[in-house]
Structure 1
């Protein structure tokens, strides 16, 4: 059981996207993040020529505007970056975070490669650590990440239970009202 939890936690921590973006087109994706989770996005761009079906060099003045919002639609990250780079932010509360990318490129198609990492895969460790120190630090951060994900799942479970209880309560009272209505109609029909 513990191994299954660890594997599912590790598999969901990194993903890659391949996007084709037109001039001034805004592309967004959502990422479910627990509370105080770090998200790192590493990206690079290439121009795509449809007539030749090939990739061209990217203009050095190219800007990629990146904007991220939390579940309350509060701005978490906003900035202009170059044709290749890295952005990072830490979630303030759990839930669906939206990350949007927009190109300033004037040509028709820009291909954007994006790798998204969440949690302990975002850490860059110091090279001066011994192997044992590095493993202890990695395992400690993995345990911390699992605890955060468990807290997030408990929060989602509580929300689900509240909705379930409310629905069951409404169904119960609906049946009671229908039964009383039928009991009231039976004497009238005789």
Structure 2
């Protein structure tokens, strides 16, 4: 009683814009987190002095304990306006709430996962493999690229998969920073859902 069942409002809803928005934000996040996290892990495992490592590793792992709402507020108050201002500077319109903003902040959030897990895996590579490579005349960087990383690759891939699952499952940052626009497009500087 009192409600009409013959309304004119008709909407079209679908899952595709939501899935595409999630995929776009996750890809951007991985493009940020994988190189930075892996390089941080290599530095801490192979190059850092014990003193630097004892300070840097706990600081990096502290980032993993920050609530995602804080990252979301950081995205909406700092990263989005900064990207928008940078876009205006170079002549590109970048929305403050966009897939790019959300992806960058989600990437920053998952750097500690990639870095800490990769660092633990790299340290587990036997010292004899490093010494054998160095004894044959390889430099430290050649040893890392040709011996240590291939030996640690299965564990590093596991760290990447864990980070991807964290990026795909992230909601708070994406709700605040992505713009919540359920429109299907491939432009990362526009709002997504």
Higher RCO, Cα 8 Å, sep 6+: 2
Q: What is the TM-score of this pair, normalised by structure 2?
A: 0.28
Bigger share in helix: 2
Bigger share in strand: 1
Q: What is the TM-score of this pair, normalised by structure 1?
A: 0.28
